[in-house]
Amino acid sequence: MKTMWAPWRIEYILDNKNEGCVFCNALLKSDDLTLFKANSTMVVMNKFPYTNGHLLVAPSKHISALNELDKEEKADLLELVDQSIGILKLVMKPDGFNVGLNLGKVAGAGIEEHLHFHIVPRWFGDINALTVFADVRVIPEHLKSTYNNLKPHFEKLRR
């Protein structure tokens, strides 16, 4: 039998899932996953990404549906999605993106109570045999390194 060690997963396994909404918590504190906060929007790195640079763009309001945002909030949210894609293109040079919303548990929403867009950079060959046959993702860059590479660009959005 072969063993694959993944000690970073213990954080997820032992994580207290009852500490409230991760997005609302991100608004209240500084951490090494939150890249940007504004009055109506925020950008947070996915703690358990599909690929490097997997970002979550959310409204500051704790809502679960698009129709709960006014037109200005919707525009701010989509503008931040666009700006985030631009930063990822500049810094990480992906070949494409998957961008979307998972609305409802059945649609794959892990945090269905707080609306958020997923932005997943994609590269040719980023899905390999390890993913297909062993259901294992290889994330080549540590989250902190990705954060450090992206954060200066999100800081410029504040101006």
Tokens found for residue 49: 């990404």
* Of 11, 47, 13, the residue nearest 32 (C-alpha): 47
Tokens found for residue 30: 């500084």
- The reported pLDDT for the residue numbered 1 is 61
- Greater model confidence, 47 or 69: 69
Taking the model in full, what pTM does it have?
0.80
Which positions are catalytic? 116
**2-17 residue pLDDT tens:** 666 666 667 666 666 6
CA distances from 60 to 67, 78, 150, 156 (A): 15, 13, 20, 19
**56-108 residue pLDDT tens:** 999 999 999 999 999 999 999 999 999 999 999 999 999 999 999 988 888 77
- The reported pLDDT for the residue numbered 4 is 61
Query: 106 Cβ partners below 8 Å, 6+ apart?
Result: none
* Of 100, 99, 85, 98, the residue nearest 150 (C-alpha): 85
Q: Which CATH entry fits the domain spanning 10-158: 3.40.50.261, 3.30.428.10, 3.40.50.2000, 1.10.10.10? A: 3.30.428.10
